[in-house]
């Protein structure tokens, strides 16, 4: 089973109304587990923004995520 990249760091909060959307300086987030899917990679890391509470995953920052 492929593992998620342990060095991945979300670059900014994906919520457009969060203050860290445009300026990620000082932004904090928490890892909140994984979800499993059938496609590769099967295990996707989940995160939560400490400022606005938005939940997101590593897939949110993938170029293919926004093509759907």
Q: Render pLDDT for 27-68 as a digit per residue (tens, 0 to 9).
A: 899 999 999 988 877 888 999 999 999 999 988 888 777 776
Q: Answer yes or no: pTM beyond 0.85.
A: no
Higher pLDDT, 63 or 18: 18
The answer to whether 62 touches 45, Cβ cutoff 8 Å, is no
Tokens standing for 21?
């959307």
């Amino acid at each position: 089973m492929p593992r998620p990249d342990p060095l991945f760091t979300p670059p900014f909060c994906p919520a457009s109304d969060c203050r860290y959307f445009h300026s990620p300086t000082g932004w904090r987030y928490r890892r909140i587990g994984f979800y499993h899917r059938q496609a590769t990679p099967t295990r996707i890391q989940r995160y939560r923004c400490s400022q606005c509470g938005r939940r997101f995953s590593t897939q949110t920052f993938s170029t293919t995520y926004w093509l759907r």
